[in-house]
Structure 1
Amino acid sequence: MSAFEKAKASRRLGFRSVLGGIAVVGVSALLLSACSAPAETEESAAAPAEDLTLKIGTALPQTGNLAYLGPPEEAGVEYATSLINAATADTGLTLDVTYGDSGDTDNKAYETEIPRLLGEGVSAVIGAASSGTSLQFIQTLVDADVIQFSPANTSDAFTTYDDDDLYWRTAPSDVLQGEVLGNLIAEDGNQTLGMIVLNDSYGTGLAKYVSDAFTAAGGEVVAQPTYNTGDTSFESQISEVLAADPDAIALITFEEVATILPGLLSSFPADKLYFVDGNLKNFGTDLPAGSLTGAKGTLPGLSIDTLTDFTGQLDTYLADAGKPALEDYSYAAESFDATTLLALASLAAGSTAADDIKAKLQEVSGGSGDGEKCTTYADCAAIILDGGTIDYDGISGPITFDEVGDPTEASIGIYQYGEDNNYVAYEG
């Protein structure tokens, strides 16, 4: 059996289709067992008992090795908030957001920001982007009985974390991205693979699933050097992976990729490089023209090319608000959906208490299986206030939470770099 045939065979658990650069995955069969089940909930009230002011915070990367994700994620939160508050007269719910910096595990901005957010009396915190960073403060939020809702965490560690049903995410587990990327590398005809890997829960977890899929497709991982957050020199990792002479190299990193690439591109063909969600970005003129032509990468969520309406609306909102234009849209949709779901769960509960909101999050996502489909905050809110149950399908996908706060339906976008060092949906 060829590598391509083996790669296709290994998809038997997850894939429904791969069309236009998007791997659409049904994930419930791949997720681990729940630690605990959410509390039973009563039917939604016909209207909130009184006007609600829901206070939430963000701990998104304004600094650190994922700082490039901060602007699109915060923009998603801001845009969703503007729509939620535009409907306050009809719904009675106002969203009050305090913005904060997660930083990373090197600068540890979260050590001061999380206490500051808790001091503001927030019911939920949106963030962090990095799985490793989220794991640094998840227990602090659990102990404070505050919801943590990440738009970008993908580590499988959260699926079984004992979080008292306070942790939720709109990004799928790395079990899925790893399977997609490992099979993509094999389908491209590569027999051997080297990886440079961030040594944290995100990097090592994703590397494991990429390796599992690639080896199941008949390939061999020949080198896998790691580095730590805060490292600034990567010569030894580059030398080790090049010495193994792999057919392809997967870069499972964050912003450090900008330092790694110059040393790698001088000795290795760009079209044999593979990126992941932690580093897939538009490099543009940061690199000489054509430096990344043919390189590929994966990113959870619907293809950017399918989100034209949303990104256009987001651009208009930012321009009207006098805010800088975005250079990247990664996880903007997931952040928008996280914000919207928190507001809808609060409205459905008729409460701003974290315990009441968490008890409604699975329901409003459609996880209870008996809600009416809706796709905007205003439409969903109207159903709730009429006494109905909703099934919110978001910008980032259907979401549909399981009992541990993981989405059970997800898409993994596959992208390819062009001569301008920017990425577009892969059409192969």
Structure 2
Amino acid sequence: MTSSILTRRATLALGALPFFLPGIAHAQAEPVRIGVILSASGGLAGFVPPIRAAVQLAIEEINAAGGVLGGRPLQMVEADDQTNPQVGVSVATRLVQAENVAAIIGPMASGITIAVANAVTIPAGVPIVSPSATAPALSTLNDNDTVFRTAVPDGLQGQVLARIVREKGIERVAIMAVNNDYGRGLASAFAEAFRGRGGTVTATQNFEESRPSYRAELQTLASRGNPQALLLIAYPASGGNTILRNAVENGFFQRFIGTDGMRDQSVVEQIGADPMQGFFGTAPGSAAAPERRQAYEQAFRRANPNTDPGAAFVAQSYDAAYVIALAVQAAGSTERAAIREALRRVANAPGEAVGPGEFARAKQILQGGGQVNYEGASGPIEFNAAGDAQGRIEHWEVRNGQVETVGQFAE
């Protein structure tokens, strides 16, 4: 667990201006504790550094703008679920009961989010906003309106991916999907949409994570129905890279398709630029207005010059922190039920549009009795009745050894 109340910049400012008593009073005010459950170890660990940086940036901006509720800073209380549902339930219990967090950002994986919600946060009435849990099953949870996500659900991703695959002239695809809610849900969404566009799924294999070899499964998939490509729904560090390596070394497949779980530069670095050339897929993208996206990216690069603000789920993580902070401010309270009720009021229209880095202006509007409509780094959030964000899907592709965004789709 790590905690941070003051930003580096705010700390320096206070040191340089000891006479600024209002700032010191704010710094000493009781913090509002926000839980952040990340998969800092395990299969999703490679995605975490830029995601953590995005949450930290948002919290630093909010605290630099005077925090919430008359000067209370946000305090990030981080926990590592180790990419494991049982550990996720354990750390969520600690955050809710011992740390007394007002709300939670995360978890990252869909299966962990579902486990945490059912076992911990729904019974406790704690609102959670996941930036990266995309399984369709989250939309149907009996959650008492406590589960939200800034990532677009996989139903839309499956439709967009099917469209892109068919437009590339691919008619027959084999699917290898991680055996969890994310993998099974996205494989099903893609298969239904792909068949609807005249494509054929030659075979599907759900695999268990972190095995030393997947040669037998790949050989079986390659031998059925003459597939033109392999769709891999996985995470790099817990099976995805091993599957790609096995497929390349044994010549089972020459063409590869991925989803958000495999949209990572480490895949190219570990498998090689030549065999991964043309590897393409989809991930939750950005529907943000250009000026809002630019404001976010410039701030992110100033704080993290060697980290990619466009990496998977990074903008969505930044937005999760912002909507929670705005909900606290709009609710005028740290009561969990009040925050939950305020989330749609600050994220959805109507209201005056506010964007990344504009927390001070948003507070002014709210304090004046107005409404705000947060339009974030990933786009307008607009939570629907199920707590799902409405957004776009990114089309990415490996070109000259780099993972690049080549398009954005709403379907």
TM-score for both structures, normalised by structure 1: 0.81
Distance apart, 1:378 and its partner CA = 2.1
Distance apart, 1:303 and its partner CA = 8.2
Q: In structure 1, give the amino acid aligned to 2:247.
A: L
1:403 match? 385
1:318 match? 304
1:122 match? 101
2:364 match? 382
Higher relative helix content: 2
TM-score for both structures, normalised by structure 2: 0.84
- Map 1:80-159 → 2, pairs under 5 A: 80-88=58-66, 91-105=70-84, 108-118=86-96, 119-139=98-118, 140-159=120-139
Distance apart, 1:312 and its partner CA = 3.8
Rounded Cα–Cα distance in structure 2 between residues aligned with 1:190 and 1:127: 35
- Map 1:412-427 → 2, pairs under 5 A: 412-420=393-401, 422-426=402-406
Secondary structure, in 3 states, of the residue corresponding to 1:226?
Answer: strand
1:293 match? 277
Secondary structure, in 3 states, of the residue corresponding to 1:237?
Answer: helix
**Aligned with residue 196 of structure 1, among 169, 176, 195:** 176
Equivalent residues of 1:182, 1:209 under 8 A apart = no
Q: In structure 1, give the amino acid aligned to 2:376.
A: G
Q: In structure 1, give the amino acid aligned to 2:32.
A: L
Equivalent residues of 1:71, 1:326 under 8 A apart = no
Distance apart, 1:310 and its partner CA = 2.8
Equivalent residues of 1:191, 1:218 under 8 A apart = yes
Distance apart, 1:400 and its partner CA = 0.7
Distance apart, 1:169 and its partner CA = 0.5
Secondary structure, in 3 states, of the residue corresponding to 1:197?
Answer: strand
- Map 1:328-407 → 2, pairs under 5 A: 329-366=311-348, 369-375=349-355, 376-407=358-389
Q: In structure 2, give the amino acid aligned to 1:413.
A: E
Moved more, 89-98 or 203-212: 89-98
Greater relative contact order, per chain length (Cα 8 Å cut-off, separation 6+): 1
Identity of aligned residues (%): 29
Rounded Cα–Cα distance in structure 2 between residues aligned with 1:308 and 1:383: 23
Equivalent residues of 1:178, 1:209 under 8 A apart = yes
2:186 matched to 1:206? yes
Q: In structure 2, give the amino acid aligned to 1:88.
A: G
- Superposed CA offset, 1:133-168 (max 9, x none): 111211211112211110011111111111111111
Equivalent residues of 2:309, 2:315 under 8 A apart = no
Equivalent residues of 1:282, 1:328 under 8 A apart = no
- Map 1:129-278 → 2, pairs under 5 A: 129-139=108-118, 140-244=120-224, 245-255=226-236, 256-266=239-249, 267-268=251-252, 270=254, 272-278=255-261
Distance apart, 1:328 and its partner CA = 7.0
**Count of residues in Structure 1 that have an aligned counterpart in Structure 2:** 368
2:264 match? 281
Q: In structure 1, give the amino acid aligned to 2:370.
A: G
Equivalent residues of 2:213, 2:246 under 8 A apart = no
Rounded Cα–Cα distance in structure 2 between residues aligned with 1:231 and 1:287: 17
Rounded Cα–Cα distance in structure 2 between residues aligned with 1:75 and 1:124: 19
Q: In structure 2, give the amino acid aligned to 1:166.
A: T
- Are residues 288 and 239 of structure 1, via their aligned partners in 2, closer, same or farther at CA, if it must alter by over 3 Å? same
Rounded Cα–Cα distance in structure 2 between residues aligned with 1:173 and 1:427: 18
- Superposed CA offset, 1:351-402 (max 9, x none): 0111000111011011xx3211111222222211111011110001101111
Secondary structure, in 3 states, of the residue corresponding to 2:333?
Answer: coil
Q: In structure 2, give the amino acid aligned to 1:265.
A: V
Rounded Cα–Cα distance in structure 1 between residues aligned with 2:167 and 2:307: 37
Equivalent residues of 1:225, 1:240 under 8 A apart = no
- Are residues 282 and 84 of structure 1, via their aligned partners in 2, closer, same or farther at CA, if it must alter by over 3 Å? same
Secondary structure, in 3 states, of the residue corresponding to 1:278?
Answer: helix
Q: In structure 1, give the amino acid aligned to 2:133.
A: N
Equivalent residues of 2:161, 2:282 under 8 A apart = yes
Rounded Cα–Cα distance in structure 1 between residues aligned with 2:116 and 2:110: 10
Secondary structure, in 3 states, of the residue corresponding to 1:113?
Answer: helix
- Are residues 83 and 150 of structure 1, via their aligned partners in 2, closer, same or farther at CA, if it must alter by over 3 Å? same
Q: In structure 1, give the amino acid aligned to 2:300.
A: L
